[in-house]
Amino acid sequence: MSATALSARLVITITLSISVRERNKENMIKEYKVESKNSTVCGYPGRQFHWEKFGWKGEAVYQGKEHYKSPKPRVDNLLIAENCQYLHVPYNFEEHGTIYRVRPNLSMRAGRKYRGRKIIRQTAVEKEDGWYWVLELKD
């Protein structure tokens, strides 16, 4: 191989490795559907609750002394760590009219390591097929 061809090949290799490293410096975004296995409800493991009783669409009506329509789930970040969000979701609203706090598991909170990367920000996002915990991760 000639010196010119070797030099050109070396420049291309260095350029490619630099661009890959620069891409890896960007924060990675991971999305996890809100489920019983990755959430807590009022501080208890999500697996202890019947997830079909949560009112994700806000359509239930409480049949107590007065009739109240359940609200849609809403995002909040007041009583949790910085850069973290949780949800207020109606649970078994027809019978009891309750709204529970649904949080991601402790392992998904900002500031912690998650699968080898540091969580910068954790948010709750509604999509067409349901709610998701979105983690912004950094090496």
Domain assignments of the chain as residue spans, ordered by start: 3-138
Per the CB < 8 A criterion, the answer to whether 114 and 126 are in contact is: no
Write the CA distances from 136 to 59, 112, 113, integer angstroms: 32, 11, 11
Q: Please list the pLDDT of the chain residue by residue as tens digits (139 residues).
A: 555 544 444 444 443 333 333 434 578 999 999 999 999 999 999 999 999 999 999 889 998 778 889 999 999 988 777 899 999 999 999 999 999 999 999 999 999 998 899 999 999 999 999 999 999 999 8
What global pTM score does this model have?
0.77
Say which DSSP state 47 is in: G
